[in-house]
Copies of this chain bind each other. A is one copy, B any other.
């Protein structure tokens, strides 16, 4: 093993530490603070293990876990774009491309390509694994907001249609869970946290 190879891998893992400082809009269930993208990624991995039986088609769990573990790394440079902010979303793609070049480029070339493939697979939502991973990425903040009395919905003047559109990957990738999603959203409409339109 060439020492340079291990040095590059360590440099990447040390740089990845910065994902722990990228703040999301979702708060912890206890409302004590906003969550960060590293602990969010861990929560998706746990959800993948626990909820795999709900995938619309059998998924390769190792691929799902690899996808969720790396899916937010580009936020180290590009930041977290709020899901309901259309303006931020439109410049997101190019900032994330540049971030992927720099961050994954810290790794030995073949491994950089492997991690970039994972990230691109997650973003493209073409494989059943990435569809399931994306559905988890929608479901986890929903459950967290629901458990935190509305959480980030409360401060952003959102309506039922906005949230259900955002959650729609769950309908395709985890159809058995969709009725529960609609039930949660409707309960928050009834409570006045979300607008009913």
Contacts and interface: CB of A to CB of B under 8 A. Distances in A.
Interface stretch (A26-34, A122-130, A185-193): A26-34
Interface string A29-57: 11010011011011101110111001000
Closest 7 pairs between A and B when the two form their complex, measured CB to CB:
A42-B42, A62-B62, A38-B39, A17-B29, A39-B39, A65-B65, A20-B39
What copy number does this chain have within its complex? 2
Contact of A69 (B28, B46, B140): B46
A21 interface: yes
Q: By DSSP majority rule, is chain A's interface helix, strand, loop, or mixed? A: helix
Interface of A: 1, 6, 9-10, 12-14, 16-21, 28-30, 32, 35-36, 38-39, 41-43, 45-47, 49-51, 54, 61-62, 65-66, 69-70, 107, 111, 115, 140, 143-144, 147, 176-177, 180
A7 to B, nearest CB: 9
